[in-house]
Every structure is written in C-alpha cells, then in structure tokens.
Amino acid sequence: MTVDEALQAALGVEHQAVYGYGLAAAHVSGRQYSAALTALADAEARRDRLADLLRRRGQDPAAAAPAYLPPTPVTGATSALALCLSLEHAAEGAAWDLVAASSPNDEVRTLGVRWLGVAATRAAKWAGASASAEPALPGRPG
Amino acid sequence: MRVPPVTVSRRALLLATPVLAVAACRDRAPSRPDPDAAAITAARDTERRLIDGYDAAGAARVADVHRAHLAALGDATPSPSPTPASDPQRLVRSSVAALQRAAIGAHSGQVAATLASIAASHSAGR
C-alpha cells in the first residue's frame, strides 16, 4: 500500500466516522453523548487534515458519500455503542496502515502513530461500555 | 439510494508475521545492521518486565496481553526479566511516549506499526 492509498483509505474511514458518530450520538445520552460528540469533532478535524495532506501531495481527496449503512441497524444505545466501537476499530486499522506505509519521522507517520493511540483508547472505553474484549495489538491485520 | 456500508474494508496489505522475522533475516547480513534493532530490544525488555510484574501480581490475563506484544516483537518464548516491574501499571503508562517515539523513527514500516500498536495498547491501559 502506498502512502497516498493509505491516506485515501484513512480519509474514507474518517468520512464514515463523522457520519457514524452523528448517528450514534442521537441514540445515547449523558457521558456517552458527550464522548460521541468529542469523537465526532476529532474525526472532523482529522478528516480535514487528511484531505489537506492529500492535496499537498497532489492528490484529490475522496468526497464523503451522502450516507452510510451501519453494519447492524442502530436502534438504541446498545447498537449505537457497538457502532462507536466498530468505528474505532476501523480507525485503528487505517492508522496502522498509515504508519506502515509512511517514512520515518515524517508528518504522516506521526499522525498515524498518534491516531492509533487515540483510537485504541477510545475503543477501550466503548468496549468497556459494551462489555467486549479488546485486542492486544490494536489495528494489527489478521 | 444505495449507500456504502460503515464497516470499512481495512487494508490491501496484510502482513501478520512477527516483526522479528524480518529483523532476523537482516541480522544475517553483517554489512547492514538492522537500524530498528535497538528499538525492538528496548520494547522486548519492557514487555518482559511487564509479563513478570503482572504474573507476580496474579494478573495472568493482563500478562497474556503483554505476551502477545512480545510475540509480535518476535519473541515467542520469553525468558524471565532480570528486573520485573514492581508497579506494572506505572510502567505501562510511562512506556507509551518512548514506544511512540520509536515507532515514529523506525525505518521499517512494519516495525513502526507494531511499536505504534503496542504503544496504543499501553495508552489504552492494557
């Protein structure tokens, strides 16, 4: 995978995260609502940064789809939390790919390393809320 | 309207082999030392200390997470650490920054991703 491919894939993940967190936030309340909104804002900021990185590399950033279909219907808090967890697992995978495709000490590598940490931390919180176990190696393929 | 699924197709490049399989091959070429060897050795030492520290604390499930980290670093049969962590949770927290720095500077993308993933696991408190 090239850096440009990894960046486009990461941008696609963040387009989905923006949509998905907006959807999930409508089904949770209290601290989970606040956490979903924070994650949404982070995803928007990272989406914009990824698009900027692509433009600076002479690439056209892929546009978001009008809507996305969740892996399972989001009908309440439980399914909303499951969606949040799946969004962070997707982020972990995209961040792993960014790190693996990038060069030492460059901006993309740094972004990927930090994003992987954020996604794993957030996934652990969502997993705690939905009582599922988390992998020992976040983002690792296989 | 047909909409794409939220579930992401994650990657085109799937490499699940332990990092040290790569490093071991490099070690056979004496004129080209592995530039990531020091970072891998340091990460292994940390994981060994955590395994022994968590085992001593009776936290076998958490120790297993660090065994998985060590295996990803190419050490499937861990030897005891000479200095097991007396406060493993503290070592988990304090190791994150060094692991992230090592990941950012790693020459191999696969080594970088593995170190970043271990750092992410530690930053998530595992």
Mean pLDDT computed over A81-104: 97
What pLDDT score was predicted for residue B39? 97
Mean pLDDT computed over B7-33: 46
What is the token pair recorded at B70?
A: 């060590």
What pLDDT score was predicted for residue A102? 98
If you measure CA to CA, which chain A residue comes closest to B96? A117
Give this prediction's pTM: 0.87
Q: Is pLDDT of B12 > 50?
A: no
Distance (Å, whole) CA A111 – CA A94 = 11
State chain B's mean pLDDT as an integer: 81
**What distance in Å separates residue A58's CA from the closest CA in chain B?**
22
Which residue's entry shows tokens 């940390």? B46
What pLDDT score was predicted for residue A131? 57
**Chain B residues lying within 8 Å of A113, measured CB to CB:** 100, 103-104, 112, 116, 119
Cβ neighbors of B91 (< 8 A, separation 6 or more) are B46, B49, B50, B53, B85
Partner-chain residue, chosen from A100, A117, A136, that has the shortest CB–CB distance to B119:
A117
Q: Is pLDDT of B47 > 50?
A: yes
Mean pLDDT computed over A85-102: 98
Inter-chain residue contact A109 with B14, CB threshold 8 Å: no
CB B11 within 8 A of CB A1: yes
Mean pLDDT computed over B92-97: 96
Cβ neighbors of A112 (< 8 A, separation 6 or more) are A6, A10, A95, A96, A97, A98, A99, A102, B116
Instruction: Report the length, in residues, of chain A.
Output: 142
Cβ–Cβ contact A105 with B under 8 A: yes
Q: Is pLDDT of B103 > 60?
A: yes
Inter-chain residue contact A137 with B118, CB threshold 8 Å: yes
ipTM greater than cut 0.90: yes
Distance (Å, whole) CA A137 – CA B119 = 9
Q: Choose between A30 and B17: higher pLDDT.
A: A30
- Within 73-92 of A, beta carbons closer than 8 Å to B belong to 83, 86-87, 90, 92
When pLDDT is cut at 50, 70 and 90, the band that residue A130 belongs to is: low
Inter-chain residue contact B3 with A86, CB threshold 8 Å: no
Q: Is pLDDT of B109 > 60?
A: yes
The 10s digit of each residue's pLDDT in A25-34 is: 999 999 999 9
Inter-chain residue contact A136 with B69, CB threshold 8 Å: yes
End-to-end Cα separation, chain A, in angstroms: 16
What pLDDT score was predicted for residue B15? 31
Amino acid letter for position A67:
A
